[in-house]
């Protein structure tokens, strides 16, 4: 049976996230599936790069049962 990947939702797409991104993206056990950030430019870029769902608030992200 294939190993299940841990589905990650990111709260905040600022500097700390950009520093962690290479490590997260390189780990085959993880899947970036959603992100929350109030900046439309940041969430638009995340959605385009990862094909993931995006939200304007952390509350919306936490309500996503797929994360």
Res. 4: pLDDT tops 60: yes
pLDDT on residue 66: 87
E strand map for the chain: 6-11, 30-36, 53-55
pLDDT on residue 2: 64
- Specify the pTM: 0.87
User: Which domains does the chain carry?
Assistant: 6-63 (3.40.50.720)
19's tokens: 């520093």
How many C-beta atoms surround the C-beta of residue 11 within 10 A?
A: 14
- pLDDT digits 0-9 by tens, 33-66: 999 999 999 999 999 999 999 999 999 999 999 8
The answer for residues whose C-beta is within 8 angstroms of residue 3's C-beta and 6 or more apart is: 29
CA 64 to CA 1: how far, in whole Å? 26
pLDDT band, very low/low/confident/very high, at 1 (cuts 50, 70, 90): low
């Amino acid at each position: 049976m294939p190993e299940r990947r841990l589905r990650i939702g990111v709260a905040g797409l600022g500097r700390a996230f950009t520093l962690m991104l290479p490590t997260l993206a390189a780990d085959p056990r993880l899947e970036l599936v959603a992100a929350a950030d109030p900046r439309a430019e940041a969430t638009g870029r995340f959605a385009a790069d990862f094909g993931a769902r995006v939200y304007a608030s952390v509350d919306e992200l936490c309500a996503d049962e797929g994360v």
